[in-house]
Structure 1
């Protein structure tokens, strides 16, 4: 009996020693990890939009991957919308805080130039991303081409309809002059794809404002007011599933095909079900990664490109499963 009690006590003591040793190991490991984060070479801020679009989720993943690779600290600063005044205020806060570099999406030219002048005085590096709408001199840019996005969407539309269709384009409303240029580049890309076919044309262009259920309202107007429409190109990520749902509700799946934008889970599900033909996506992970990489290299005094193009890819029934696996 006594021997059994001593055996139990010895076992408990051994277990306590093992647990204590593991605790010391974890503490030292955490301390080492903490030190690597606390001593970054540069402090970077990236101004991002505070939305539920999957673009931003993968953008941040790419930026964090580059953060680990290049030994910098990346801080994401969310803004409520892409507005020139809101973005300027966010960037100015970063300048006043003394960060080393800031990346953002411009929403105009004039206020962005004011930001550039102030950052230059303070010796702070700036970079813009996903921006081919505003000409910002002497500032590197990372991102996809709006023209290429339009061309790819147009090519998918041709494939979906064998080059014979009446097309309606749905896109965000134009605000600043740069937004108009962005829309024009998209439409130019689509028209370039259609130019080889005399039997496919754009019947109308509908614009979306930021109101809730706007996509549903616009889609209902299209199917009731536009005669013989048989394909919709929707160039807004959040609105693409909403457009598809209206067609489902009106039993028009197959009668009107959809080319969408982005890769929200609902969009991919509609592609699998045959409601949406396909979708066009900028590689947001790559955009986030190269945003941090290029800004870090410029701060080190290394030569970088004025423009770093990133991939645009398409998803349809043939490859949708591989992207579904990525999102799980």
Structure 2
């Protein structure tokens, strides 16, 4: 009797142990499966500071930055560089792993803000407009002297006549305006004595109608102008329509900026001679990659020239 009782207890114990092992194995497999499906922790959190103007150029920068962040398993947050909003002023206290800054303020103020990030050991990469400094920050963007030289070569090919050239900057494209001397130097170097008069510089505000008003005033006061170069996509589109309204297509040639659909349409109709396109996507992408390199190794190239593309009618067939 006792033997049967002991055998029953032993069997019950073995069954209980088997059930426990099965349950333990199931729990272990569920835990491993859930851990494998869980999102990996983010490597970095970077901040991108841009002007509030969201034209195709700045949209392209954001797109490239987000693409690089996805590859690096990093987060990228977009902020305004407008001093009224104080977002860049607060950047040193956010604890981010790095900041990408597109300065458009005067260089002294931009330098002060960038230095404050440095005191908090936050790596910085600047894009689109370089800010001179004793210890330069990594810069991602275009060489505006080379941009001007390419514009000069194009302008010289558009007409055999002496050139009277107007260069229209804009608050909507602050990086180019910040390096306007380099741009004009490049154009002058390329054209030399082809320029009938020195380059005339003008500037539009954020209002999209400024380009239209400017052209009406421009051709009243300077009817000799035969080449107009714009540095903003919205201004380019507005100017093309104004040229049609004033019946100046063919007499005045427009060199635009950007690859917006309206600009491409103007090129096809030969209202716009051609357009300069900065590789905005690459600027954003390389900026994030440079920040990641700074975090990993403490080193990144001092400057990356992302180059430009020129689109004309033959490129849109």
TM category, shorter: 0.7 to 0.9
What's 1:105 paired with? 102
Q: Distance in 2 between matches of 1:173 and 1:44?
A: 26
- Superposed CA deviations along residues 120-179 of structure 1, whole A, max 9, x for unmatched, are 3322111111113544734211111111221121111111114643222222379x9x98
Deviations 1:87-141 (A, max 9, x none): 8x32232321211111102223333343344323322111111113544734211
- Stretches of structure 2 that go unaligned for 5 or more consecutive residues are 1-32
Q: CA deviation at 1:285?
A: 0.7
- Change beyond 3 A, Cα 1:119–1:319: same
Instruction: Give 1:310's aligned residue.
Output: 306
281, 287, 294: which one pairs with 2:283? 287
**8 Å contact kept, 1:50–1:78:** yes
TM-score (norm 2): 0.80
Within 5 Å, give how 1:22-61 maps onto structure 2. Answer: 32=37, 35-36=39-40, 39-61=41-63
Aligned to 1:326: none
Name the CA shift for 1:150/1:135 in 2 (closer, same or farther; >3 Å): farther
1:53 shift after superposition: 1.0
Q: Tell me which residue corresponds to 1:125.
A: 123
Secondary structure of the structure 1 residue equivalent to 2:179:
helix
**Superposition RMSD on alpha carbons, in Å?**
2.7
Change (3 A) 1:71 1:250: same
Match of 1:184 in 2: 181
- Structure with the greater alpha carbon radius of gyration: 2
Q: Secondary structure at the match of 1:313?
A: strand
Which position in structure 2 is the counterpart of 1:139? 137
Distance (whole Å) between structure 1 residues aligned to residue 202 and residue 116 of structure 2: 39
Q: Once superposed, which parts of structure 1, at least 4 consecutive aligned residues long, lie more than 6 Å away?
A: none
**Following superposition of structure 1 onto structure 2, how do residues 62-77 of structure 1 map, counting pairs within 5 Å?**
62-77=64-79
Instruction: For 2:306 and 2:151, locate their aligned partners in 1 and report how far apart those are by CA, in whole Å.
Output: 17
Q: Does 1:193 align with 2:195?
A: no
The answer as to whether partners of 1:263 and 1:279 remain within 8 angstroms in 2 is yes
TM-score by length of 1: 0.78
Distance across 2 between alignment mates of 1:47 and 1:136? 23
Unmatched 5+ residue regions in structure 1?
Answer: 1-27, 322-328
2:211 maps to which residue? 215
Q: Once the 2 structures are TM-superposed, how far is the Cα of residue 300 of structure 1 from its aligned partner?
A: 0.8
Distance 1:133 1:124 in 2: 17
Give the aligned length. 282
